[in-house]
Amino acid sequence: MRLMTEFASQGLGNTAWAFSYLLFLDMPLLDSIAAQAMNKIQELGVQELANIAWSVARLQFCHRPLLAAIAEAAMSSISLFGSQSLSNMAWSFSAIGVRTEPLMDSIASSARPTITLFSGQDLSNTAWAFACLSLANGS
């Protein structure tokens, strides 16, 4: 796990995604990814934030400090998120059962002007996320 400290942001996000895609649940690895992601949170781009959020949600690794850091970083760069990243972020927080209303409000505000451009999958995942968290954002 010591090599994890040498990973660039993209490597960290890709590693998290790959292991979660394989449903490889290794707590020391996840703890290391979480620690490095929090250390590099300001360096993580949209793709890395979305990948790491999706990864921990898929593995049901509810690391609240990491999720709080991801939510904060995502809110500060939400205007850079495309429909898939918005959808993945919403799905991730919902799938892991973490209700973060400020993040979901940011997602809703960012999605509203471009909702007609969302793919069917992105629209479905986003609606599912809001429904599961019992959030109705009429704004």
Tens-digit pLDDT profile for residues 87-111 = 999 999 999 999 899 999 999 999 9
Mean pLDDT on 16-27: 93
Structural contact between residues 53 and 92, judged by C-beta atoms closer than 8 angstroms: yes
Residue 134 has φ and ψ, to the nearest 5°, of 55, 45
Say whether pLDDT at 75 is over 90: yes
- Residue 85 pLDDT level (bands cut at 50, 70, 90): very high
pTM of the full structure: 0.89
Q: What is the pLDDT of residue 4?
A: 64
The three-point CA angle 70-73-78 to 5° equals 110
